[in-house]
Amino acid sequence: MLIITSANSAKSRLKARRMCGISGVVLTTGEVGPLLLDSLKRLEYRGYDSVGVATVVNGKILLKKDIGKIGEVESKLRIGELSGTTGIGHTRWATHGAPSRENAHPHTDCNGSVAVVHNGIIENFMELKQQLEAAGHVLRSRTDTEVVAHLVEENLKLKIGLVEAVRRAALKLTGAYALAFICADEPEKIVCVRKESPLVIGVGSGANYLASDIPAFLPRTRTALLLEDDEMAVLTCNQVLVMKVESGEVVAREPFTVEWSVETATKGGFPHFMLKEIYEQPLTVRNALRTQPIYLELMASALSRASRIFLLACGTSYHACVAATYGFANLAKVEVTPVIASEFIDAYGALVDKDTVVLTVSQSGETADTLTAVRGAKDRGATILGLTNVMGSTLTRLSDVYIGQNSGPERGVAATKTFTAQYAVLIKIALTLARKRNTVGSADLQRFEDGFNQLPQWISGTLSSQKDNVRRIVEKNSDKISFCFLGRGISVATALEGRLKLLELSYLPAIAYPAGESKHGFISVVEEGYPVIFVAPQDEAYSKIIGNVMEMKARHAHIVSLVEGNDDQVAPLSDEVIQMPSAVPPLLTPIVFIVPLQLFAYGMAVTKGYDPDFPRNLAKSVTVH
Ligand code: F6R
């Protein structure tokens, strides 16, 4: 996760974060250049704003890298023609700053004798960078990755060899990483290390491979082994040695045979990108929460000076904004107005001036309605804050300050992982503002910190405990022709988003309402068996939603409820229950409670024979008005 600001002073402190692809090849004979090129093409779905490869030849590191898609960089630099039997490669998805050659991987140390590629986030890179610069190292990029090359360089001065130098460097890192190193003085090996970011090793004959994902080496070998967190591996052409980072102790690891086709492997073994992306959320939410505090501060400062604040977006991004309004009001005691971008200027243009701040949320950063509204606000003198998944997008160029949500490319047209990441960043911004305004106590702040730490487990726990249950609910309701989603308080946003997912993927008319409002009109629709889905965490709205469930029950609606594990009031009134974790802080519930609704929408689309990755009439980025 990273943030960029338009202020030059802040730009120099920027950090690169990414969801990239890394690869490595070590051979007995032949050239790794063409194999690296092929593996990077297969990993291009992980990122595609810049590419680079490095090999070791005659005691020197050869390196080629540049911005652009792989095809473009290949025709310019002929990266596939690099010679050498040992090499590493990288395809980047920048989430920090416009992609540049300087920030492209591989990165090297001062002497160019160590090269590294990285997927993940080094959280403590700022302090490491300061220490390294104080020791005389010269860093050339703005990435977090480059510090690791210099850390290894520093360790190599102790004459301990590459493996030990990498191991000691890894012990100093906090964050998430899959790193692969080559060294001019030890040309026969690649050393890699993993924590939280994916890394898999392909075991060949007279050749070994590493990659972020299996498709990278699938045409060459189907024998693979997985590195676990806090493990490292040393690859030579005829051996793979797995070790624990902490102790250096060698670990026995059985290889397995990959049965997947290349296409299935590209989807991580899932039948669709959407399902893969739903399951990525424990990681992408964690990455979203890794936003550097300094950049949250920049946004909070702009917000604290504003006399009027709008949250601007379309579709799913708008629902993240709706949820965030509860956070801004309850934590920071600040009124913010969420607005659908296409209505913004007509509804509020007359109120926008230089004291207005418009916090704009757009996964793609290219949605035409959103950009038009932003330009309208800019013309009236407003400050523009941007939250997006695509660095270098138009939104980043129009924003005075922007933050990347670090979700990696989202291939499914329906937004899933980008919704939870957007909301996670928005709630962090609200909390930062609250701290600045002294509107939250330390006990509450601690509760949020604990909640943030638990979110990945809550999501993965829900996925594993509810997937079969949701599939059963889908089967039972697959003949229904319309659905209604109801929630109160912050769960209104969850209901809105659950409804959008179902509607856009299953082509079923669906309704979402604040539950309290349903008796003012919607209730006339309800008849026996009409499916109503209640989002009912045990927050301050809980006692009221029980009454709404009863209203629907009295009209013989078919009630499906999302309730906490210890629920004893809504669950008994429900025909189907989706059990959610207990004690999720109310303002974090959208991140967890949306997950089964994403699964429900996915399941309905598949059951009806529709392709959830490509719903009809929709585009991933809507660039028309
Ligand atoms: C729904 C969906 C769309 C987008 C909307 C805004 O699943 O993906 O509703 O959320 O088109 O797109 P961005 O966030 O790119 O501005």
Position 46 scores a pLDDT of: 76
Position 481 scores a pLDDT of: 95
Q: Whose CA is nearest to atom 16 of ligand 1?
A: 362
- Closest by CA position to 480, among listed 515, 508, 452: 508
In short, whether 387's Cβ falls inside 6 Å of ligand 1 is no
Position 10 scores a pLDDT of: 31
126 CB-contact burial (10 Å; exposed 0-12 / middle 13-18 / buried 19+)? middle
83 alpha-carbon distance from chain centroid: 35
In short, whether 337's Cβ falls inside 6 Å of ligand 1 is no
Q: Whose CA is nearest to atom 5 of ligand 1?
A: 315
Q: Where does residue 269 fall: left (phi above 0), alpha (psi -120 to 50 degrees), or beta otherwise?
A: left
Ligand 1 mutation pick, 360, 363, 618, max ligand atoms within 8 A of CB: 363
In short, whether 363's Cβ falls inside 6 Å of ligand 1 is yes
Element (H, E) at 263: helix 262-266
In short, whether 502's Cβ falls inside 6 Å of ligand 1 is no
Element (H, E) at 431: helix 417-436
Ligand 1 mutation pick, 319, 367, 505, 597, max ligand atoms within 8 A of CB: 367
CA distances from 405 to 7, 62, 212, 590 (A): 19, 33, 20, 17
CA distance 57 to 55: 6
Ligand 1 mutation pick, 277, 314, 403, max ligand atoms within 8 A of CB: 314
Q: In angstroms, what is the span from residue 175 Cα to ligand 1's centroid? A: 29
For residue 388, give the ligand 1 atom closest to its CA. 14
Angle at alpha carbon of residue 301, lines to 297 and 303, rounded to 5°: 115
Ligand 1 mutation pick, 272, 316, 366, max ligand atoms within 8 A of CB: 316
Q: What's the alpha-carbon Rg for the chain, to the nearest Å? A: 25
In short, whether 416's Cβ falls inside 6 Å of ligand 1 is no
In short, whether 316's Cβ falls inside 6 Å of ligand 1 is yes
Q: In angstroms, what is the span from residue 415 Cα to ligand 1's centroid? A: 6
* 3-state helix vs strand vs coil in the chain, percent to 5: 40, 25, 35
In short, whether 370's Cβ falls inside 6 Å of ligand 1 is yes
pTM over 0.85: no
For residue 364, give the ligand 1 atom closest to its CA. 15
For residue 416, give the ligand 1 atom closest to its CA. 7
- Closest by CA position to 315, among listed 588, 493, 500, 511: 500
Q: Whose CA is nearest to atom 11 of ligand 1?
A: 315
CA distances from 458 to 188, 224, 369, 445 (A): 43, 30, 34, 19
Q: In angstroms, what is the span from residue 362 Cα to ligand 1's centroid? A: 7
In short, whether 414's Cβ falls inside 6 Å of ligand 1 is yes
In short, whether 315's Cβ falls inside 6 Å of ligand 1 is yes
Contacts (Cβ under 8 Å, ≥6 apart) of 536? 487, 491, 542, 545, 549, 561, 562, 563, 567, 570
Q: In angstroms, what is the span from residue 416 Cα to ligand 1's centroid? A: 10
Q: Whose CA is nearest to atom 4 of ligand 1?
A: 315
In short, whether 372's Cβ falls inside 6 Å of ligand 1 is no
Q: In angstroms, what is the span from residue 331 Cα to ligand 1's centroid? A: 27
Tell me the mean pLDDT per 10 residues along the chain, length 625: 30 41 95 96 82 96 94 93 96 72 94 95 91 96 93 98 98 95 98 92 96 90 93 97 97 89 82 95 93 90 98 98 98 98 97 98 93 97 95 88 88 94 97 97 93 97 98 97 97 98 96 93 92 97 96 96 95 97 96 98 97 84 69
Phi then psi dihedrals of residue 311, to 5 deg: -105, 125
Q: Whose CA is nearest to atom 3 of ligand 1?
A: 315
In short, whether 26's Cβ falls inside 6 Å of ligand 1 is no
Both tokens of 118, joined, read 């990285």
In short, whether 317's Cβ falls inside 6 Å of ligand 1 is yes
Helix H, strand E, coil C: the string for 4-38 is EECCHHHHCCCCECECCEEEEEEECCCCCHHHHHH
Catalytic positions are 20, 620
Both tokens of 604, joined, read 């309905």
In short, whether 394's Cβ falls inside 6 Å of ligand 1 is no
Position 15 scores a pLDDT of: 31
Q: In angstroms, what is the span from residue 283 Cα to ligand 1's centroid? A: 21
Ligand 1 mutation pick, 364, 398, 420, 501, max ligand atoms within 8 A of CB: 364
Both tokens of 53, joined, read 């490869």
